[in-house]
Chains A and B, each alone.
Chain A
């Protein structure tokens, strides 16, 4: 019964959408690769049945839009059939991106929490800091990323740290905003209660504000970890980085290796899904440990 519901309510809708996407993708691939294939055939004086023609549009080495099975086999090959230390392995590139994502996310979360605590407790910070924080996120990250990389490279900071800092830049924001809301979420009655006990500000903070903010923290961490991944990938683009999903994307576009680009995109999406899921699972565990009602 339970499994039947899971199948009907969770798996079936997702699979249906996946099926539709793949179908649309195939149709689009045929259409987009047709002009080049027609050109090729005319020059080679090849005449063929429509079925043969469609098959050839889906098996070009550098297609405009690679077919799903081409991307899938590229992902499979580069994930499972190569040594993880190989320069072609998606696991290797994902690991490089993941490590700077993780460092950036950790720094960003800590920074975000710190800023939120400051804003909630210091009136002057509340008035002065918030506009700057919001302004910081209106600057396009693509404009900032190269400057950060170049400036830091000039002072001999290269490799993981500059990329992680770009992740930090993107991920502190949702955490700061979420935590300001979370730390202010206790109701007046709960604050009054603390007042009747003559609780100190520190006691009110640790025993009321912090626990009350935990659900807000996890919600914003889900957004922050996805933003961190984007930051790390963007950080890999302008460096001419030798490794990472970003560098794989860049190399693919230099050499028109469209299949590689799409494979790298898939790797990035899978990584994002895994990271968000991990945060979600931790959130669930913490929620249950804090007396949350099981869903």
Chain B
């Protein structure tokens, strides 16, 4: 416990999420729905992996399988070398939902304290971690406010702080900025990258914005629906240091083009 992870990034470091022939089928009254089929994926320590694809491609479902909020029906998956259930029980990830899901009756401080209370941190430790994570998401001084007193972007930052407060080195983010306007979104993307480089966490990030995926990721997983599957995995060639205007460079546009091609190849624009 104590300081955030400051390990050096290592190209050959260990695997955090490893999926082999992973499949998930929901039985519905209209027959089976193949949310995921034959997904093979390796997420390494320190990666920033984005999952992109149209709705119904299984990107959120895949994230929920990692988080043990859904169970795969076929194939294998390990998280930190454990089953997803063991990983969840040993609190090895923080999850950021599409909505901030802050508890309205708790102040921002108390919202961040929620996982810490549940996990049994001492009051002194809680106070220290709240202060540090608020600083990390640039919300220092807002701890005593209630959620409704904050803007949507600030609320989502608070929910990220809540996921960072305990020592999980894996961060699962499910379209966290999807409901925000473009200007706020740009700003938060920039902050998220800084946060990622400061904390050295592994991040799995679901989005349906191509620029967002390309700007943030070290790897982009392109998915397509019916059945939900991975159609392409693109390694980003962009440097780790990324100012916002990197999005105007030919290199960036090249990667974005490849993502768009991948999405098209999955027939995602046909319907």
Contacts and interface: CB of A to CB of B under 8 A. Distances in A.
Contact of B97 (A189, A290, A291): A189
Contact of B104 (A189, A198, A291): A291
Interface residues of B, number: 26
B196 interface: no
B117 interface: yes
Given A208-B103, A211-B103, A293-B148, A193 B118 contact: no
Given A189-B99, A197-B91, A197-B118, A211 B105 contact: yes
A197 B101 contact: no
B105 A193 contact: no
Interface string B144-165: 0011100000000000000000
Interface in B222-261: none
A135 B139 CA distance: 53
Nearest to B69: A192
A112 to B, nearest CB: 21
Contacts of B147: 291
A229 B148 CA distance: 38
Interface string B72-115: 00000000000000001101011101110101111100000011
A190 B118 contact: no
A193 B95 contact: yes
A194 B97 CA distance: 12
Nearest to A293: B148
Nearest to A203: B118
B183 interface: no
A195 B95 CA distance: 10
Given A189-B97, A207-B118, A291-B146, A196 B69 contact: yes
Contacts of A203: 118
A197 B103 contact: no
B88 A193 contact: no
Contacts of A290: 104-105
Interface residues on A, range: 20 to 34
B137 to A, nearest CB: 17
B255 to A, nearest CB: 31
A69 to B, nearest CB: 50
Interface string A251-277: 000000000000000000000000000
Secondary structure of the B side of the interface?
Answer: loop
A197 B69 contact: no
A199 interface: yes
Contacts of B99: 189
B67 interface: yes
A37 to B, nearest CB: 62
Contact of A291 (B89, B91, B105, B115): B105
B49 to A, nearest CB: 19
B119 A190 contact: no
Interface in B162-214: none
A193 B95 CA distance: 8
Contact of B119 (A187, A192, A197, A211): A197
Contacts of B97: 189, 192-193
A197 B107 contact: no
Interface string B102-144: 0111110000001101110000000000000000000000000
Given A192-B69, A211-B103, A198 B88 contact: yes
Nearest to A204: B118
A207 B107 CA distance: 13
Contacts of A195: 68-69, 88
A78 to B, nearest CB: 45
28 contacts: A189-B97, A189-B99, A192-B95, A193-B97, A193-B101, A194-B118, A195-B68, A195-B69, A195-B88, A196-B67, A196-B88, A196-B94, A196-B95, A197-B91, A197-B115, A197-B118, A197-B119, A198-B89, A203-B118, A208-B103, A211-B103, A212-B105, A290-B104, A290-B105, A291-B105, A291-B107, A291-B147, A293-B148
Given A291-B104, A291-B107, A291-B146, 11 more contacts: A189-B97, A192-B69, A196-B93, A196-B94, A197-B91, A197-B114, A198-B89, A207-B117, A214-B105, A290-B105, A291-B147
Those 4 A-B pairs whose CB atoms lie nearest each other, nearest first: A291-B146, A290-B105, A196-B95, A189-B101
